Every structure is written in C-alpha cells, then in structure tokens.
Amino acid sequence: MPKCQLCKAELQEGNRNNTYGTDGGMNHISRHHLFPKRFRNYFTDDEIKQIFQIEPPMVLGEFCYECHEEVLHNLVLNREIIDKLSKLFEGKDKKTRIIIFHQIFKLGIESILKK
C-alpha cells in the first residue's frame, strides 16, 4: 500500500464517499505536481532540473489529503515573515521570487535537520 511522502500515512485510492477534510477522507491519495503547472511558462525543462532538481518536470508526488491540502497549500506566514520576504522580493520578477522561495525552504529544512 502506498504511503504519504510527507507523513508516511498509508494511502487509499479514491474517495468514494466524498469525505474530503474528514477523518474518513484524510488518507486518500492526493497527487500534487512537484513543480506547479502554472510556473511552466517561466522555466525551461533544463532550469527545472538544474534549479529545483525535479525530473521529469511534470512528476507527481503522492500525499494524504491533510499534507497536500492543509499543509502544502496553506503556509502559515506571520507579519515578521511577510516583512522579511518583502525585502527579499522587492524589485524581483516572478521567476526570481519563485527561486528565492524554493531556496528558503531548502536552506531552512537543511538547517533544521542539522539540529
């Protein structure tokens, strides 16, 4: 049985009773593009491979509903974080902001894992 790539919960295929967001619907497979389709017009396939280490560009991750919808899609940002991001993003184009955000996550995770 497949497992959520983040929390390792066992996943089930489908959600026949449309129980999204409930205890019964939290462990259905929720597929998520590792590189968002909406960003494809900003990056070439080679850039996606080199900058983000994602190959092929349209590869999907498999997550439980909770990790996919409630964690990956709903980041918690406070005023302090927003103010600091604003300094990093100021004057930057969208492509550069996407790269900066990816670097923040990568460096942040590496830093926390070292503790």
Domain containing 110 equals 76-115
Q: Are residues 49 and 102 in the same domain?
A: no
Banded pLDDT at 26 (limits 50, 70, 90):
low
Residue 103 has pLDDT above 80, yes or no: yes
**Residue 68 near residue 60, CB atoms below 8 Å:** no
Residue 33 in tokens: 């593009």
Q: Are residues 54 and 18 in the same domain?
A: yes
Give the span between the Cα atoms of 56 and 70, in whole angstroms: 26
> Hey, how many other C-beta atoms are within 10 angstroms of the C-beta on 94?
11
pTM, two decimals, is 0.80
Banded pLDDT at 40 (limits 50, 70, 90):
very high
> For 41-74, what is each residue's pLDDT tens digit?
999 999 999 999 999 989 999 998 888 887 888 8
Q: Give DSSP secondary structure letters for 16-85.
A: TT--TTSGGGTTB-EEEESS-GGGGGGS-HHHHHHHH--SSTT-EEEE-HIIIIIIIT-----HHHHHHH
Q: Are residues 46 and 99 in the same domain?
A: no
As for how many domains the chain has, the answer is 2
**Residue 2 near residue 29, CB atoms below 8 Å:** yes
**Residue 63 near residue 30, CB atoms below 8 Å:** yes
Q: Average pLDDT for residues 87-111, to the nearest whole number?
A: 96
Q: Are residues 63 and 85 in the same domain?
A: no
Q: Are residues 59 and 34 in the same domain?
A: yes
